[in-house]
Amino acid sequence: MNQCETCGNQYDKTMEITIGNESHTFDSFECAIQALAPRCDQCNTRILGHGTEAGGKFYCCAHCAARGGHDDIIDRV
């Protein structure tokens, strides 16, 4: 059995997620999200959707990007 790298659970149905050349093993999406999802640079929320990136930083929405000095980003047209 494989072991989840987030919670340590030994499980026979783990999933492996590869990012670049790095592989990670998890027992659930929740554990994968905790380990891999980026956090918003302003509000520290985990970014589960597309989010946005500006100036090398990640933001969950245009509002947070504007608070980070990137007011050219919009959520809707």
Average pLDDT by stretches of 10, the chain with 77 residues: 97 96 97 97 95 95 96 88
Predicted pLDDT at 46: 96
- Whole-model pTM: value is 0.80
List the domain boundaries for the chain: 1-36, 38-77
Long-range contacts, stretch 49-55, CB < 8 angstroms, 24+ apart = none
d(CA 4, CA 47): 21
